[in-house]
C-alpha cells in the first residue's frame, strides 16, 4: 500500500482512538507530507473539521502554487464541503481510500478537472463499516443525515 494512504489511515485510527469518526487525510507536496488531519468534529465540537479540512488547516497558509502542485489523500470520499475546499485551492489530484460507505462529490471533482483515484482499500472500508454500525447517530450527524 502507498505510504501516504497508510499515513491517512493512521490519522483515521487516531481519530477513532480519541472518540471521533475514523476519517484521515494527508496533503502531500512533491513527495512530502505538509499537512496531516483527521475528523475532529466530536473531539473539538467543530462544525467543519473533517479529515481533509483538518489536513489543510495543519498545512497552514500556503501560496496557491503549493496547493496546485499537491495531492490530497483521504480515507473516505470527500463530502461537498471538503470537495469545495479541494476546488477552491486547486488541488489537482485526490486519492481516496474508499467510497462504498459514502460516495462524496467525486463526479463534481472529475467534472472540474481533478484527477480522482479510488483505491477501494479494505482497511478504510473496515474502519468506516465498523464505526457506522457502532455509532450510527454520530455518523448521521457528521454527514447531515437524519
Residue range 42-54, pLDDT digits in tens: 999 998 999 999 9
Would you call 145 a catalytic residue per the annotation? no
* Angle between helices 51-59 and 3-17 in degrees, nearest 10: 110
The pTM of the whole model exceeds 0.85:
yes
pLDDT confidence of residue 66: 97
Q: What are phi and psi for residue 75, nearest 5 degrees? A: -75, -20
Grade residue 107 by pLDDT with cuts at 50, 70 and 90: very high
pLDDT confidence of residue 145: 59
pLDDT confidence of residue 141: 81
Is residue 94 predicted with pLDDT exceeding 60?
yes
SS3 content of the chain, % helix, strand, coil (to 5): 45, 20, 35
Contact 26/33 with Cβ under 8 angstroms?
A: yes
Which residue of the set 52, 111, 137, 145 is catalytic? 52
Instruction: List, for residues 52-68, the tens digit of each pLDDT value.
Output: 999 999 999 999 999 99
Amino acid at each position: 500500500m502507498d505510504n501516504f494512504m497508510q499515513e491517512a489511515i493512521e490519522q483515521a485510527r487516531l481519530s477513532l482512538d480519541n472518540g471521533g469518526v475514523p476519517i484521515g487525510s494527508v496533503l502531500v507536496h512533491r513527495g512530502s507530507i505538509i499537512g496531516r488531519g483527521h475528523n475532529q468534529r466530536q473531539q473539538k465540537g467543530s462544525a467543519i473539521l473533517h479529515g481533509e479540512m483538518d489536513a489543510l488547516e495543519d498545512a497552514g497558509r500556503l501560496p496557491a502554487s503549493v496547493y496546485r502542485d499537491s495531492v490530497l489523500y483521504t480515507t473516505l470520499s470527500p463530502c461537498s464541503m471538503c470537495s469545495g475546499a479541494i476546488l477552491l485551492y486547486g488541488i489537482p489530484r485526490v486519492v481516496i481510500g474508499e467510497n462504498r460507505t459514502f460516495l462524496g462529490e467525486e463526479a463534481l471533482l472529475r467534472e472540474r478537472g481533478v484527477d480522482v483515484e479510488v483505491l477501494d482499500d479494505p482497511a478504510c472500508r473496515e474502519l468506516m463499516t465498523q464505526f457506522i454500525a457502532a455509532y450510527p447517530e454520530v455518523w448521521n450527524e457528521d454527514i447531515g443525515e437524519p
